[in-house]
Structure 1
Amino acid sequence: MNRRTFLKQTFLTGLFIVSSKITSFAKITDIISRWKIRTVEDKTPDIDIQKFHLKITGLIENKLTLVYNDLLNLINTSYTSDFNCVEGWTVPGVKWDGISLNTLIKITKPFYSAKYINFYCYGNKYTESIPIKEIRDSYILALKINDKPLDQKHGFPLRLFYPDRYGYKSAKWIKKIVFSNQREIGFWSKYGYPEDGIIIK
């Protein structure tokens, strides 16, 4: 290979790498631009991660209190799925990493009387709930989006994500999970939104 050919190939390789990075950045930027932030809180909760802990209690054999690093070590589910808002907009191709709710069930060992998992959030306004019998492996406690920790406006440090449910079911800033025989009516369901939140196609 002569020097001219070598330099040409090196230049083309470098151009491809730069182009790939620009394309990747453009995709991330596009995702960010499509995401409309919705919150029922007066302001975004400012959570001190050094003081954060997730309490898991209720009708279960193993009650838990987990700090952020505990949750990171439990991440076992990763996939790419659109985020769909009931308002009609979609953020396509989001990569999610988190803890499967089925894993949570295996760890906590709910009693037979437990029929629902109820979620409570920082700010004390948002609540959500899902029947245990409906849970799939893809229903997760999400800790990362596109390989990065959730940022504050997206629910840091912890939010729900169900790929087949509208975004209003994906409660942000979760601080407590309670296994119960009674359903905690979700915030938006109190205002007439369907309790199941299943995406209509």
Structure 2
Amino acid sequence: MRKFVLVVLLIAIMLFGSEEQRVFAFLATSSKKKLLTEHYILLTSLIQQILVRYFPYFMNYTELQELQHVEKLVTLQCVEGWTRKMLSEGIPLIDLIEKADPDDRVTNVIFKSTDGFTTTLTLDYIGERNIILADKLNGIELPPAQGFPFIVVAKDKWGYKWARWVEEIELSDDDKYRDYWEEFGY
């Protein structure tokens, strides 16, 4: 019953809601997500065949805000068939990754969210498409219920690759890693 009510509410917002409500309707969630008291991004990397969980690279929210931000017009495509065009603003991921001084063997980037969700993108894809870690959509800062502090804007990928509530970015050479939805066959 709760899911039905949520779906009806989302449809009503998309049809009759304000511009701000429609911007975030595609990100709606049925439960509150835990947020970090101090918002930060943790980058882990490969060094001497060991994932650097013992010596990670941290940046807090304030430090991340001081990095160069870019804007990109992108289209989010849902597997359910709908699309939304939006202006995203955030940090070029490749710039952030380079700060962690990754090992040459890194091929994949795994994004981990505060709610346990994971998704992965190749390092080549991130660099070639200049993928960003967004903190604003259509000029509006992401509210906590919709993904604050960051969402991965995975241009040209289905919406399930757009991780939100990102708290950790793992740089990996594991080509067999299966993220949240891939575990279910997507």
TM over 0.5: yes
Change (3 A) 1:103 1:89: same
Amino acid across the alignment from 1:134: Y
Q: Which residue of 2 aligns with 1:72?
A: 65
Q: In the superposition, relative to structure 1, how do residues 37 and 137 fare at CA in structure 2: closer, same or farther (>3 Å)?
A: closer
> Are the structure 2 counterparts of residues 31 and 91 from structure 1 closer, same or farther at C-alpha, using a change threshold of 3 Å?
farther
For structure 1, which segment, 73-82 or 165-174, has the greater mean C-alpha deviation from structure 2 after superposition?
Answer: 73-82
Give the fraction of aligned pairs with identical amino acids, expressed as a percent. Answer: 26
TM-score, normalised with respect to structure 2: 0.76
Question: How far is the alpha carbon of 1:31 from its aligned partner?
Answer: 6.6
Report deviation, 1:90.
Answer: 1.2
Q: Say yes or no: does 1:155 pair with 2:157.
A: no
Tell me the distance in 1 between the aligned counterparts of 2:178 and 2:132: 19
Q: 1:133 to 1:141 in 2, by over 3 A?
A: same
**Within-5 A mapping of 1:1-201:** 29-30=18-19, 32-33=21-22, 35-37=25-27, 43-48=31-36, 50-59=37-46, 63-92=56-85, 94-124=86-116, 126-135=117-126, 136-183=128-175, 184-193=177-186
Structure with larger Rg = 1
Higher strand share: 2
Give secondary structure in 1 for the equivalent of 2:35. Answer: coil
Superposed CA RMSD? 2.4
Residues 137 and 77 (structure 1), Cα distance of their counterparts in 2 relative to 1, 3 Å cut: farther
Any stretches of 5+ residues in structure 1 without a counterpart?
1-27, 194-201
Cα deviation, 1:76-123, whole Å, max 9, x if unaligned, reads 22122222111111122x111111122123222211121111111102
Count of aligned residue pairs for this structure pair = 161
Deviations along 1:44-72, one digit per CA (max 9) or x if unpaired, are: 21425x42221111216994211111111
Distance in 1, matches of 2:147 and 2:68, equals 17
- Structure scoring higher RCO (CA < 8 A, sep ≥ 6) equals 2
Q: Contact conserved, 2:75 with 2:156, CA < 8 A, in 1?
A: no
| Structure 2 stretches lacking a partner, 5+ long | 1-16
Structure 1 contact 55–177 (Cα < 8 Å) conserved: yes
Structure 1 contact 128–169 (Cα < 8 Å) conserved:
yes
What do the CA deviations read for 1:2-32 (whole angstroms, capped 9, x no partner)? xxxxxxxxxxxxxxxxxxxxxxxxxx93473
Alpha-carbon distance in structure 1 between the residues aligned to 2:111 and 2:34: 19
